[in-house]
Amino acid sequence: GENGGAKGYLVGEENKGLMYMFTMMNQARHAVGIQGYAIAERAYQQAVAYARERIQGKPIGVKAGESLAIINHPDIRRILMTMRSQVEAMRALACVSAAAFDRGEAHEDPEKRAYYQRRGELLTPIVKGWSTELGVDIASLGIQVHGGMGFIEETGAAQHYRDARIAPIYEGTTGIQAGDLIGRKFIRDGGQGLRELLGDMKAVLEQISGKDHSEMKDIKAALEHAIQSVEAAVGFLLKVDDPRVPAAASVDFLMLMGYACGTWVLAQSALAAQAKLAAGEVEEAFYRTKITTVLFYCHHIQPKTVSHLQALKHSQDSLILSESQL
């Protein structure tokens, strides 16, 4: 204290404080990533329930007869599937990240512990940044399903949006997560963790390549495109000379990685579902729904890796105008 008498105690090893702090921060950031997809899940559940009870409009092409619940309208179904597929991707990726940290703590092989620790650390800024950004988007879609009713307080849909909006800000903004991913988790370790992740993605791609089902061919193509987008982004970032460009590209890189990792984890879930169907599992509807959800993600969401790659390659555009011109 100011008048003396205070004692300081060394906690842990000297000069290891920053490393200890990041252990706490990784846990906190992972938890906020879970918050992002949890709010998105609640927004989806509420939107589905409302769409089943809100009666408005007749089927397309039918002039007579009774009006139907809006869940029968194609555009509402598109919105709901957009919400559902991304929630499943976020949840799966968060589980993969958490499992990596568990194995990094408990695996008997020291080399495997280091491998899984790198994996968990690599995925943490993606889980935090990507999931919280999508949480905002999905909560907004939930309002859209409710229409004008969603904009007022009676339904509670707007509450999900407000709750989701803080998640991309605290425990490090999306820009901070992106800088961490591209700086500490990619450039600083020479890309080792990312190369390992790409290796695992390609292993799943090889598994899918042996499947003859038409659904698996589409999933294979989507995962292949996702991997190509990641590799193209990495190739671009390693060649740039201006140190400002990776910083300007970092959020697009994070979002690209999120959508690519989402494709990877959902492809694994489709493989598992297909194996269950082949084994004659009784919950056939559940597993077929899982595959349908993965296909929607592959057809409608995975292509966003391409748009983020395009933006990333032109990230220097944001550096052209001077401060006074902005």
Give the residue numbers annotated as catalytic, written as ranges.
Answer: 171
> Rounded to whole angstroms, what are the CA distances from 26 to 35, 36, 258, 296?
14, 15, 17, 31
> Rounded to whole angstroms, what are the CA distances from 97 to 17, 204, 253, 270?
24, 17, 18, 19
Grouping H, G, I as helix, E, B as strand and the rest as coil, residue 128 is helix
Q: Please name the amino acid found at residue 311.
A: A
- Residue 318: φ, ψ to 5°: -75, -5
Nearest-angstrom CA–CA distance, 199 and 190: 15
Q: Could you count the other beta carbons within 10 Å of the beta carbon of residue 286?
A: 12
Q: Cα Rg for the chain, rounded, in angstroms?
A: 22
Residue among 1, 82, 83 nearest 37 (CA):
83
Nearest-angstrom CA–CA distance, 70 and 52: 7
For the chain, what's the residue count? 326
> Rounded to whole angstroms, what are the CA distances from 161 to 87, 262, 302?
15, 22, 24
Residue among 32, 36, 38 nearest 172 (CA):
32
Residue among 32, 271, 65, 264 nearest 135 (CA):
32
Grouping H, G, I as helix, E, B as strand and the rest as coil, residue 189 is coil
Nearest-angstrom CA–CA distance, 204 and 227: 11
Nearest-angstrom CA–CA distance, 314 and 230: 15
